[in-house]
Amino acid sequence: MAKIPVLADVTSANNELADELRAELARRGILTLNLIASPGAGKTTLLERTIAALAGELRLAVVEGDLATSLDAERIVQAGAPAVQINTGGGCHLEAQMVRQALKQIDLDQTDVLVIENVGNLVCPTGWDLGEDAKVVVASLPEGDDKPLKYPSAFATAQAVVVNKIDLEPYLPARAETMRANALRINGSLAVFAVSCATGAGLEGWLDWLRGRVREKRAAHQRAAQASAHA
**Which residues contribute to the site for a second copy (CB under 8 A)?**
1-2, 4, 38-41, 66-69, 71-72, 90, 92, 119-124, 126-127, 140, 142-144, 146-147, 149-153, 165, 167-168, 171-173, 198
Q: For residues 112 and 167, which CB has a smaller minimum distance to a second copy in the complex?
A: 167
Best CA proximity match to 196, nearest among 231, 172, 159, 166: 166
Cα 137 to the chain's mean position, in Å?
A: 7
**Minimum distance from CB of 79 to a second copy (Å)?**
16
Q: For residues 105 and 199, which CB has a smaller minimum distance to a second copy in the complex?
A: 199
**Minimum distance from CB of 96 to a second copy (Å)?**
19
User: Do residues 166 and 196 lie in contact, with contact meaning Cβ atoms separated by under 8 Å?
Assistant: yes
Q: For residues 31 and 47, which CB has a smaller minimum distance to a second copy in the complex?
A: 47
**Minimum distance from CB of 174 to a second copy (Å)?**
8
| Cα 24 from Cα 19, distance rounded (Å) | 9
Cα three-residue angle 226-230-231, rounded to 5 degrees: 115
Q: For residues 29 and 142, which CB has a smaller minimum distance to a second copy in the complex?
A: 142
How far, CA to CA in Å, does 137 sit from each of 7, 42, 133, 152, 217?
30, 10, 13, 11, 20
**Minimum distance from CB of 177 to a second copy (Å)?**
17
